[in-house]
Chain A
Amino acid sequence: MYYAVTIALIITMGLALTRAIIGPSVYDRVLAMNMFGTKTVLLLAVIAFIMGRPDFLDLALIYALINFIGVLAVLEFFQDRASRLKKEDEVES
């Protein structure tokens, strides 16, 4: 039963990667990478029990933390850039 969940998670990671590659805007790509990170955490948790090594759960926890911080940092960066571009447009016009 673990294998069915693993296959579903890997297919979903593929779908998220497809969205990240074809995504029209930056925010689609950030959304897809956030999904991909969540799926990675779940996949690590499932693989820990397939292989019988619960140490992997620590890796899953750390990955969840890093994924969250990374997504917030990227969003902050693009929000800054968007507001800066808007200000430059207002100055020019």
Chain B
Amino acid sequence: MTLAWLLDIASWLLLSVGGIFVFIGGLGALRMPDLYTRMHAASVTDTIGPALIIIGIILQAGLTLASVKLVAILLFLLLTGPTASNALASASLLAGYRTEYARPLPEDESR
């Protein structure tokens, strides 16, 4: 019942839940039927998976230089992942890909 024990338990929990999230996101990116639904599934592995896994590693590493680098990696991943997803979605929309699984937009009906 020491603090190190509690930290070990917490970091194991975070690491395993992060691994499960990453695996579910990968499965969704493989099995989903459409580009945009695949993007939806893959965004899980870009945000909460890295957050949980890296926070779990930080709890194991303690207050060292490695933790600072891990925080930098985490901030960078959280900044760039959604940006890349946004650029990908806008590029595919501009190229003319539409999803069949959404309600039609109002301007689509007027055309």
Contacts and interface: CB of A to CB of B under 8 A. Distances in A.
- Chief secondary structure at chain B's binding surface: helix
Contacts of A1: 11-12, 15-16
Interface residues of A, number: 47
Interface string B80-104: 1101110110011011110000000
Interface of A: 1-2, 4-5, 7-9, 11-13, 15-16, 18-19, 25, 27-28, 30-32, 34-35, 38-39, 41-42, 45-46, 48-49, 54, 57-58, 60-61, 64-65, 67-68, 71-72, 75, 78-79, 82-83, 86
Q: How large is the interface on B (under 10, 10 to 19, 20 to 34, 35 or more residues)?
A: 35 or more
Contacts of A31: 29, 35, 38-39, 42, 88
